[in-house]
Amino acid sequence: MPVRVVGFDGDDTLWHSETRFHVTQGEFRDLLKRHVPDADVDTRLAEMEMKNLSIYGYGVKSFTLSMIETAIELTRARIPTADLEVILGWGKRMLMQPTELLDGVEETLRGLSGRYDLLLITKGDLFDQESKLARSGLGEMFLGVEILSEKNADTYRGVFQRRGIKPEEFVMVGNSLRSDVVPVVELGAFAIHIPYVVTWQLEHVDEEALPRQGWRRLAGIREVSTVLLDDFGSSAGRP
Amino acid sequence: MPVRVVGFDGDDTLWHSETRFHVTQGEFRDLLKRHVPDADVDTRLAEMEMKNLSIYGYGVKSFTLSMIETAIELTRARIPTADLEVILGWGKRMLMQPTELLDGVEETLRGLSGRYDLLLITKGDLFDQESKLARSGLGEMFLGVEILSEKNADTYRGVFQRRGIKPEEFVMVGNSLRSDVVPVVELGAFAIHIPYVVTWQLEHVDEEALPRQGWRRLAGIREVSTVLLDDFGSSAGRP
């Protein structure tokens, strides 16, 4: 069955995201080192984010709240309030930054949008993701947008049901093996993995846990078009 | 055309929400009064929430961040860090509280779910709202769930299009005139307003701005079933 619907992840697939978290986290590390020079700030923050994930979910607001909590905990509440105000400001800066597209995104989507139904399928904070899409200028290329609180087999199955998509006619394109590849292939659909320069610790997957087939890894989004035609048999003349 | 689809708001329509914000805000007021006895904490917090709305959107995480920012600003950064930790804890408590249904909700939904397609249409934080729905035990009574970043004519129109709903066959039930009544009636659909004991300041609407027809006000959710049959002509035998 030819591919009919192509899903795209947003953060670090269409636009830069994780590098911004990295920049802020670097500033956070420097700020805390002034108060607790020996602290392992990155590890402690990662643990805090993991601990808070089931309460806060994903996104910049959750990250900001976890930074504040980590700062208070690591300094045993000795960090000055003015420094916490600085952290609040970083969160707002991240939320207000213009959406910066990855290389080749716009022309690739434009090329695909006439031939396939394109869906944006992201996770994270609803308000922040809608705001990023609005600022990206890519809105009209997508037939629909699905913002999920978590990307797993259940939530992808929900998307397929809501939109009448058969797994065999769907390809997901994204930078996360855990969120964009593994659950999609599990449902019998296809996936294209395009690694981003940085991967958030919570998104890591052991290579052994990866499916053997049903997905491919590409170096950049520009190759998606060719691969859709060649590998997944979506070209009209193919068997 | 008989009513086919009934949309329900979540917060303060199906389950308590605003009273929890009020309880926390009372604690916040008491905490700040110790540092700045003359401050008008409620007004300043409302202004901060309004200012931050376009950056943070709705929800408990946004409220928590705005409380922290208000506390820092009102005390000119003199509030002890340990007090900010207390505020963080209030936010988490709100996010983890069990979902407490309003009186009559469960039996009313159960009665309606065989006769109409029920949709949950809420705004706010995606993660928090999904978590509340999961804890409510009401999940299986809804044909679908729509969590919107804002409820206005555009976003309701999007729901109608996605789900193939004609305005004439839709009734929205909710506690907010601004979010559940005005935009719905504007699109030619019907609305039922069930006031909650408290209304958040940002949800207030001047009575003059209300549509003249297309909606009704009820005292409680138990009356919805009767009104659907009588007023909106959804009973099979009616013209």
Residue A204 lies in a domain: yes
Between the CA of residue A61 and those of A22, A52, B60, B193, what are the distances in Å?
Answer: 15, 12, 10, 32
Shortest distance, CA A78 to any CA of chain B (angstroms): 7
Residues 6+ apart with CB under 8 A from A24: A63, A67, A90, A93, A94
Contact residues, chain A, for B92 at CB < 8 Å: 52, 55
Residues A87 and A179 in one domain: no
A85 interfaces chain B, CB cutoff of 8 Å = yes
- Residue A239, pLDDT > 70, answer no
Residues A195 and A133 in one domain: yes
Between the CA of residue A28 and those of A71, A84, A97, A113, A121, what are the distances in Å?
Answer: 9, 10, 18, 40, 30
Smallest Cβ distance to B92: which of A55, A79, A85? Answer: A55
In whole angstroms, give the CA distance from residue A231 to residue A173: 14
In whole angstroms, give the CA distance from residue A70 to residue A92: 18
Shortest distance, CA A16 to any CA of chain B (angstroms): 19
Residue A77 lies in a domain: yes
Residues B12 and B129 in one domain: yes
Q: Nearest chain A Cα to B158, which residue?
A: A144
Tell me which residue range forms the domain holding B48. 18-96
Q: Which amino acid is at B112?
A: L
Q: What is the pLDDT of residue B235?
A: 39
Contact A62 B61 (CB under 8 A): yes
Contact A57 B81 (CB under 8 A): no
Residue B38 lies in a domain: yes
pLDDT digits (tens, 9 = 90+) for B71-116: 999 999 999 999 999 999 999 999 999 999 999 999 999 999 999 9
| Least confident stretch, A87-96, A132-141, B3-12, B163-172 | A132-141
Cβ-contact A200, A84 below 8 angstroms: no
B213 interfaces chain A, CB cutoff of 8 Å = no
Contact map slice: A 43-72 vs B, CB within 8 A: 52, 55-59, 61-62, 64-65, 68-69, 72
Per-residue burial over B78-115, b = 16 or more CB atoms within 10 Å of its CB, e = otherwise: ebebebbeebbebbbebbeeebebbeebbebbeebbee
Sign of CA dihedral A223, A225, A228, A231: negative
CATH code for the domain in which residue A217 is found: 3.40.50.1000
Residue A125 lies in a domain: yes
Residues B217 and B147 in one domain: yes
- Residue A1, pLDDT > 90, answer no
Residues B107 and B183 in one domain: yes
Res. A118 pLDDT band, cuts 50 70 90: very high
Q: Nearest chain A Cα to B155, which residue?
A: A130
- Residue A219, pLDDT > 50, answer yes
Res. A237 pLDDT band, cuts 50 70 90: very low
Residue B239 lies in a domain: no
Cβ-contact B49, B63 below 8 angstroms: yes
Side-chain-side CA neighbours of B160 within 13 Å: the count stands at 21
Residues B27 and B133 in one domain: no
Residues A149 and A194 in one domain: yes
Contact residues, chain B, for A72 at CB < 8 Å: 81-82, 84-85, 88
Kindly state the average pLDDT of the residues A119-144.
91
| Domains of chain B: total | 2
Q: Which two tokens stand for residue B57?
A: 């959107």
Domain end position, chosen among A56, A79, A96: A96
Residues B76 and B154 in one domain: no
Kindly state the average pLDDT of the residues A27-54.
97
Residues A116 and A199 in one domain: yes
Contact residues, chain A, for B126 at CB < 8 Å: 57, 125-126, 147, 149
Residues B112 and B193 in one domain: yes
Q: By C-alpha distance, which of A212, A1, A222 is closest to A101?
A: A222
Q: What is the pLDDT of residue B238?
A: 33
Output the tens digit of pLDDT for each of chain B's 239 residues: 789 999 999 999 999 999 999 999 999 999 999 999 999 999 999 999 999 999 999 999 999 999 999 999 999 999 999 999 999 999 999 999 999 999 999 999 999 999 999 999 999 888 889 899 999 999 999 998 999 989 999 999 999 998 999 999 999 999 999 999 999 999 999 999 999 987 776 777 777 778 888 999 999 999 999 888 776 654 333 33
Q: What is the pLDDT of residue A238?
A: 33
Q: Nearest chain B Cα to A150, which residue?
A: B127
Residue A121 lies in a domain: yes
Q: By C-alpha distance, which of B52, B33, B222 is closest to A91?
A: B52
Domain end position, chosen among A37, A72, A96: A96
A147 interfaces chain B, CB cutoff of 8 Å = yes
Contact residues, chain A, for B164 at CB < 8 Å: none
Q: What is the pLDDT of residue A232?
A: 66
Cβ-contact B10, B132 below 8 angstroms: yes
CATH code for the domain in which residue B37 is found: 1.10.150.240
Q: By C-alpha distance, which of A61, A64, A54 is closest to A27?
A: A64
Kindly state the average pLDDT of the residues A154-178.
95
Residue A235 lies in a domain: no
Q: By C-alpha distance, which of A205, A8, A195 is closest to A106?
A: A8
Q: What is the pLDDT of residue B232?
A: 67
- The percentage of chain A sitting over the pLDDT mark of 70, rounded to a whole number, equals 95
Residues A184 and A154 in one domain: yes
Domain end position, chosen among B96, B124, B148: B96
Contact B79 A81 (CB under 8 A): yes
Kindly state the average pLDDT of the residues A128-144.
91
- The percentage of chain A sitting over the pLDDT mark of 90, rounded to a whole number, equals 77
Q: Nearest chain B Cα to A155, which residue?
A: B130
Contact residues, chain A, for B72 at CB < 8 Å: 81-82, 84-85, 88
Contact A78 B79 (CB under 8 A): no
Q: From the DSSP assignment, how many helices (H) and strands (E) are in chain B?
A: 9, 6
Residues A110 and A223 in one domain: yes
Residue B155 lies in a domain: yes
Res. A89 pLDDT band, cuts 50 70 90: very high
Q: What is the pLDDT of residue B207?
A: 75
Smallest Cβ distance to A126: which of B68, B88, B126? Answer: B126
pLDDT digits (tens, 9 = 90+) for A194-217: 999 877 767 777 777 788 889 999
